[in-house]
Amino acid sequence: MGKMKQIAEIIRNNDADVLRRALKSSTDANRDYVYFIGKKYSIADANQILLFMYNEQAKQNQIRRAERALDHIENPDSKS
């Protein structure tokens, strides 16, 4: 699986914090790189990826909320 597909899967699963924790661990250890999904990234690159992931995760969450609201409007008797 390509790196972007892996990142997309992480976003779909609301797991962007995995990268945040890896970044924190690397900076706490005074490393200038972080390992993420099998690749070594600079701290700056990893921060950019994290920003992208948080942005995309927020979009996905907004879509999910809108879909749930629409489902509730269309099917008010169903429990979700």
pLDDT one-digit tens code per residue, 30-49: 999 999 999 999 999 999 99
Q: Is 80 domain-assigned?
A: no
In a domain, 32, yes or no: yes
Residue 70 in any domain: the answer is yes
Q: Is residue 67 part of a domain?
A: yes
CA distances from 17 to 50, 78, 79 (A): 8, 33, 30
- What is the per-residue pLDDT across 4-38, written as a single tens digit (0 to 9) for each? 899 988 888 888 899 999 999 999 999 999 999 99
- The pTM of the full predicted model, rounded to 2 decimals, is 0.75
61: containing domain: 3-74
Is residue 23 included in any domain, yes or no?
A: yes
The pLDDT of residue 47 is 95
How many H-runs (helices) and E-runs (strands) does the chain carry?
3, 2
On whether residue 79 sits in a domain, the answer given is: no
Reported confidence tier of residue 79, pLDDT bands at 50, 70, 90: low
Number of domains in the chain: 1
Does 40 fall in a domain? yes
Sort 36 into a burial class: Cβ within 10 Å, 0-12 / 13-18 / 19+. Answer: buried
Could you please report the per-residue DSSP string of 25-44? Answer: HHHHTT-SEEEETTEEEEHH
Residue 62 lies in a domain: yes
Res 80 pLDDT > 60:
no
